[in-house]
Structure 1
Amino acid sequence: MYDLPVALYVGSDAAAVADAWAESGDGLTVRGATPGSDVAERLAEGGIDAVVCDCDGSFDGRAAVEAVRDHSASLPVVALSVGDALSLATATDLGVESYLQVDADTDRVELLANLRSLIERRRETRLESTMLASLLENVPLSVYFKDRRSRHVRVSDEMARLTGPPYLEAPDGKRHHAPEDLVGKTDFDLYPPDLSEDAVADDRHVVETGESVDGRVEHAHGDNLEESYVTTSKAPWRDEHGAVLGVVGVTRDITERKRYENQLERQNERLQRFASVVSHDVRNPLEVALGRLEFARADGDDEHFEAIERSLHRIDALIEDVLTLAREGEAVSDPEPVDLGDVARRAWTVVETGDATLTVETDATLLADASRLQQLLENVVCNAVEHGGEDVTITVGDLGERQGFFVADDGAGVPEAHRDSVFDAGYSTDDDGTGLGLSIVRTIAEAHGWETDVTESESGGARFEFGDVTGGGLGEGADDGATDDGATDERAGTGDD
């Protein structure tokens, strides 16, 4: 509940009018001020909701209204003019809210009583305006009002910060540094066409049907390819008669929440893979070992002990790969620029490659976790050597227009019917394999936000492609990251320096 509205009455008999109102008036507090410096002093005290200037032959009100406007551009002013003491044209030029011509002998207390409801409405409007201004300046949300043609008429400070502090950058490259810069613009002036089309379609739905749009999730990429998510709700903006003037919307950045949800989804997928490995891949060699143990107890044949040893080695390898799968699945939260060629060469030195050859045809710099990227490349190289032969040639290069990189070999390749399955946990064409090597590759790629695919290389072998379709952080080539001439680097055997 607010205190009573306060009106500053300015006139030659201000003190008498204020005293008379105090005795008989109701619903309004009246303070008096005589023309001159007294007006500015009273305004400086604060708490004034409206000013009533009583202009007569000795006081035309100009100086008083100018003093009000120097104090506040929005404080309502009611001008009372005895005859032509203050003309309507002059009052309009001065920014007077209301203008009334009165007689000199009109009861001023009765006149103020008639003006009370007007002053109350002006005060309520002004309070609501200041509340809205405070909300738009301070709320950590993108809040905006649009007219029926989807043009922004009022926006919060946060809206200009939502897609790039401290500004909002439009598709044409112009940076909007303040909310006022966005007024009059539509979404097509500020956002990519696909997002703008959906947003304006929602605006049109709200305006035409009077129905709200709640919790629409929108997905976008910035210039740096970093993905972002926002949720938007919109409702009709109505006037006091219920007519729809436009749309009021609230947009909230939920990027962190979506990343957390995606991380939980990946963790659940990994848990399912782990359950499959434990229930099937580990159980089988364990059952073999237990069965052979019974026979070994009976006859002590070395063949049974050898089978037990093989089973135990397989279980150990499975456990190691499962642990790797668990470690590598966490989302990469702080990638750093790494030289793809350098990481490929490091991976080559720690893998048994026999007479295989590595060819590096890239000088690209990636935003990645260097350790996990090396693990990815180690697994792909191991897969190529195991299935393509010890003299296989392995090439690491760029995808060209599609941002990403590939690892290709000239081995036997992957049959087209099996390409959708090679990344599945447990898939293997080798009885001694764990079936997790390429699953780990996919898990590391997903942790970076990269897409994985397998196709046929130019020489008929396997070609594993890693593309950045989600904005996870593949960078363009960087000359300062290349070694040698930055084009081709061939190494045979283990690739030792």
Structure 2
Amino acid sequence: MKSQPTVLFVRSTDQDRAAISFLRDSGLTVHEVKGVRDAEDALGDYDTDCVVTNCEVEKPDGTQYLGGLTVIERLRQTHPELPVVLFAEVTNGDIAREAYSRDVFGYVPETVDDALQQLLAQVDAAVASSPARQRASKRKQLNEAVRLVNQALVRSQSRMDIERDVTAVLAGTSRYTEACTVTCQHDRPVIRALGSQRGRVTITAPEPLLRAESAERLVVADIDPDAVGDETEALERDCVRVLAVPLVYDGVSYGVLAVYADRVDTFDTEEQDTFREVGHNIALAIDASQTKDALQQRTTELEHQKERLRELAQIISHELRNPLQAAMGRVELLAESTDAEEFDAIQRSHTRMSFLIDDLMEIARQGERQYTVEPVALSNVLSDAWNAIDTGTSTVEIDCPGTVLADRNRLCQLAENFFRLATDRCDGVRITVADTADGFRFEHAGRPLAGEGEGAFELNYGSTDEGAGLHLAVIREIARGHGWDISLGDGSSERVRLDVIGVEQPSAKADRSSD
């Protein structure tokens, strides 16, 4: 620990000897340099509490005029926490205003009678303010780094973009020397993104990064310069400390963010807490980007699947409908000249095949259909659906006096498909349709369907259950188009029941609108 404050005095060529001696005699450790370049080099060698500079000091180009202002400007960029006192040879209001605009701590003209006493007072005050300035500077730098990281997370679209942009932001700040993201493979960290965009580098101090990923906790470690040596490809070159932040979200690890610094006073408790949140945000952004990519891929796959289904339906319709129509025509000709009961069965089979083709095309087209929802009398639509199909000796009982919000044509198709399903599977079946609390239900006596739950509504081209798979698939697609739910098999084992749920009534929608 230092026994007394340390001052770096950037003096003019021929002046300031008396001021330097006075400060030393007052108990301060004073290191003197002659110009801007020497001052920048000395800051790396000394633990400085305050900088005093003359106006007339050497600039980097060798000129003398107002080099002190250049010192102040450089310090604000590289060491903003250091207080600077300007010791001017002449009293000049313009110089003073310029110095204060660059955040100079104090301004002391050499021409006043008690200039040395004023200089000592300014230096003492500057040294006293140094801890507070350091805390404020660190907080400002940290806030700026977090702001830039958050901006990078917002604009980045993929995991690679996120890692590349975040590490570039951190490596480009004045507080940190380097940053990278790594994943650990075979007990070795492998760099995914490097902030400085250098070429191939080697991680010569991998242990903190491995520990951070395996334990899923933040790790701070000092780097031994002797262990790194003079390797020009070492990531830890010119770095003395590393902060390893695990990137974990919802139990999934996305590797480690490693942040390097060339000062031993970095990564205190406050900074660690900040980076815990930063690591969480980075992992969250990566997870969100990958989820978005997965959803996009799934959407693309579904679009391709939908297109293949549409093409398949068109092929089936084209390849089957023409020969089917020809066969139906030939059967009609034969039936006119021959009195055989078998022709009736053949005609029924042909009719059923035609309906199956229509149903398949309806499923393929449902995604393209636009639904026009309006109040419709449910009993009227159900009656129209019943009259539209060949029901044979089957009967229907409709107990649905209410009005619902639906697309009339699509609702009619839904009912037709259930009626066909029932009459195809059973001769002389009695079907009942009744209102429920949030929709309506179809029901008829007969053996249960083969499928259960959602599986019953999936397309099943190999079904031997009288084409039930196609009928139920059409029903599901029409219900989905309305935003309704459907369930199957809620009755006894000797009955088939289909519930349509979530059906809105005009009065209910009006009540919600008024609320």
TM-score, reference length from structure 1: 0.46
TM-score, reference length from structure 2: 0.45
- Larger radius of gyration between Structure 1 and Structure 2: 2
Question: Comparing both chains, which one has the higher relative contact order based on Cα–Cα distances under 8 Å and sequence gaps of 6 or more?
Answer: 1
Structure richer in helix, relative to its length: 2
